[in-house]
Amino acid sequence: MPLIKGGVFVEDPFFFVPDGKAYPDEKGVIVTLARFQGERDTLFAHRNLVGVRLASNENPAVLKADLHRLAVVVLEFPKFRDGRAFSWARMLRTRFDYKGEIRATGDFLLDQLAFMARTGIDAFEVRQDVTLEQFHHAMTEISHPYQPAADGKKTIRALRAR
């Protein structure tokens, strides 16, 4: 999957290792929550770049104690209608003060990108046919939000007060 981060396509420094599969020699690794919980200490001992992939029903609160050591948290969108990851992202950023990468993967629409960015997602695994032009268009369709979220964007209320 092509990866967009910082508004451009980037090389993915991580490799997702499904449960039961061997770790690759290089690159950072992303593992499922179950595998992370089973192999946490070994992983941190041997790898600099460790990430965890959460299914949409997995609350990131369980990672709280390890967040400072995680380079990426991947949030799955199994269907674009499943909006739980929007809450997970926002909790990671605003409640747990997580500074690493939050990546979206799975089934989502261009029209959801701006919402994702607002809740704190900063990396996007997009479909092959998505262009940067489409990406930037989706991100800039609405100039000012009404409500605070996790992106620090000035709200309409704050702009009115100026």
Smallest distance, another protein to C-beta of residue 124, A = 14
**What sign has the CA pseudo-torsion 121, 125, 127, 128?**
positive
Q: Which is nearer to another protein, 103 or 118 (CB)?
A: 118
Q: Which is nearer to another protein, 8 or 146 (CB)?
A: 146
Would you give the DSSP letter of residue 7? T
Residues in contact with another protein by the rule CB under 8 A = 59, 80-84, 86-87, 90, 94-95, 109, 111-112, 114-116, 118-119, 141-149, 156-157, 159-160
Cα distance between residue 83 and residue 85, in whole Å: 6
Structure tokens, 136: 């930037």
Q: Which is nearer to another protein, 47 or 84 (CB)?
A: 84
Smallest distance, another protein to C-beta of residue 93, A = 11
The helix or strand, by DSSP H or E, that contains position 137, with its residue range, turns out to be helix 132-140
